[in-house]
Amino acid sequence: MRRPRLAVAGLALAVAAAGGVASVARGDAPERVPRYVTDDRGRALTLHGFNTASSAKSTPDALPELTEADVETEYRAMGTNFVRFLIQWRAVEPSPGVYDTKYLEKVAERVGWYAKRGYHVMLDMHQDLWGDRVTPDGHAGNGAPGWATHTDGLPVARAHDTWELYYLDPGVMRAFDHFWNTTGEHPELMDHYARAWRAVAEHFKDDPAVIGYDLMNEPWGGAVQGAAFENGPLAELYRRTIAQIRSIDQDNWIFVEPQAVGVNWGLPSGLPRFEDPRAGEPRIGLAPHIYPLPLDLGEDYVGAAREWTDTTLGWWRSNMLRLAERQDGPVILGEFGLDTTRPGAVELVERMLEVTDELGMGRAYWSRDPGPWGPYDGKGAPGPLVPVYARPYPRAIGGVPRQVAYDRASHSLTVRFDANGTGPTEVYLPADEFPRGGRVTGALSSTWDPDRRILTVTTPASGTQTLTVTPA
């Protein structure tokens, strides 16, 4: 989500009180997430990619302004293997109970672009400010269809200096309150949403590139906030949606997000554990976001603001690991990002890549749009993000990961794991730092694919293995 300067300090304090600031710095968190998304061989995946794309919020067809050539450029430049692909409820269900299969086919076509290049796709039902019909001319909001938008004629401002302030407008608040049925007047809306997800799952359940579904982007509780929201209306929506998806798709992962305000800044989440009705091991994971409050307040990642940001990153790290332990599921960092032309921005991206490696989380940068937040400018020229995001990483690990660490100064990648016989480990190596591929220690053998820039490494099928990859 694009983040201009935030001016909602009062909202921050209210949510902090609701979330329980006293618990943000507890030191009893586990060291890594408890589980991992795996491929069809059972190898643990490192998911490294982008949100694609913010443009889908406002295009008439709800599709991102992206070509297959753009996907190829990204793949060649940064070796990404993952995309959080934005879809819109307004396009899935344009009329109550009517699902647009032509839209889903167009989404599937774009998923195919990624599939050709070995990507894994998570479909994200995106919303911000509920939907574009919260205002008569559609100048604010995205996601929900007009027929599901009930503002009761309450006002929404013509403009705000900061877009987040729309969340506090009476009309936007009322639209959310009706959806969560805290008004008692529209109990049908959550069921419509859940069944729309069933339609999506029915279309994509057999698509090998799709690994899962992100049920709602950055949930906002309207008049209900904090733990009361997460344990109440939000949990109810997730349970209904999980049931609908599992009625048609037993295999793909389902990802849930905590509420955005507060949790995105590092405060704890009250989201409960969700049971998975599928046969076998549950496949429910988490897809939180992080936008540290100092940067949301307009600061750069330098000086005192950098120290404050690192403190909030520590809170977020501990709280997300505890939430992952509660759910006993994998974590994909669904959004992080900033204006990469600002002082310290590249260093923060590097830090977030280090953190997700340390914790065993996947990551999707916000977003794959042209401009200073994205990897390319409006003419397609690479910006500051490309070289830092072109990072060596283990795309698939033949065991249970214990450590992934990259030292950019020495161009040395360390991967430690408990081998389980699921197959070889595949490591992506970017051209700038590894022009002739990689030299690996700790392996039985290795092969280099210069076209895909993948080093495939075989190890013993059991025991703790440590691989160190340096430039050849």
In this predicted model, what pLDDT tens digit does every residue of 266-325 receive, in sequence order? 999 999 999 999 999 999 999 999 999 999 889 999 999 999 999 999 999 999 999 999
Instruction: Give residue 26's pLDDT.
Output: 60
Residues forming CATH 3.20.20.80 domain(s) in the chain: 9-391
Instruction: Provide the pLDDT confidence category of residue 458 given band limits of 50, 70 and 90.
Output: very high
The structure's pTM equals 0.96
The pair of structure tokens assigned to 1 is: 């989500």
Model pLDDT, residue 163: 85
CATH H-level, domain 395-472: superfamily: Golgi alpha-mannosidase II (2.60.40.1180)
Asked whether residue 76 carries a pLDDT value surpassing 90, the answer given is yes
Predicted pLDDT of residue 12: 54
Share of the chain above pLDDT 90, in %: 91
CATH number 3.20.20.80 given to 9-391: yes
CATH 2.60.40.1180 occupies which residues in the chain? 395-472
At 376-425, the pLDDT tens digits run: 999 999 999 999 999 999 999 999 999 999 999 999 999 999 999 999 99
Residues 422-451: what's their mean pLDDT? 98
